[in-house]
Amino acid sequence: MSQSIGKCLLPMLLKKRKWTQVDLEAVTGIHRNQLSEYINNKRTMSLKNARIIANALRCHIDDLYDWKV
């Protein structure tokens, strides 16, 4: 079964934690311009950054995107 990456779910995850992109930048060290590119689906996270973000948000890497089957 083939899967592809869909919409980035960072906005929902940030809202759930009551965090802003600036908060996530402070915790992860990933610049908010790059985070914005992820959120606006202009760029896909590297595995390394996905892991850093997932750890910061206390979620699974799979929770960062909507997956299309």
Tell me the pTM.
0.91
Query: Is residue 5 one of the residues assigned to a domain?
Result: no
1 falls within a domain: no
Please tell me the total count of domains within the chain.
1
3-class secondary structure for the chain? CCCEEEEECHHHHHHHHCCCHHHHHHHHCCCHHHHHHHHCCCCCCCHHHHHHHHHHHCCCHHHHEEEEC
Answer whether residue 2 is part of any domain: no
With respect to residue 40, please indicate whether it lies within any of the assigned structural domains: yes
Question: What average pLDDT does this structure show over 42-51?
Answer: 96
- The stretch 16-44 carries a mean pLDDT of 97
Q: Is residue 30 part of a domain?
A: yes
Q: Residue 44 above 90 pLDDT?
A: yes
- The CATH number assigned to the domain holding 20 equals 1.10.260.40
Share of the chain above pLDDT 70, in %: 99
Q: 23: domain range?
A: 11-64
Q: What mean pLDDT is predicted for residues 2-28?
A: 95
At 69, the pLDDT band (50, 70, 90 cuts) reads confident
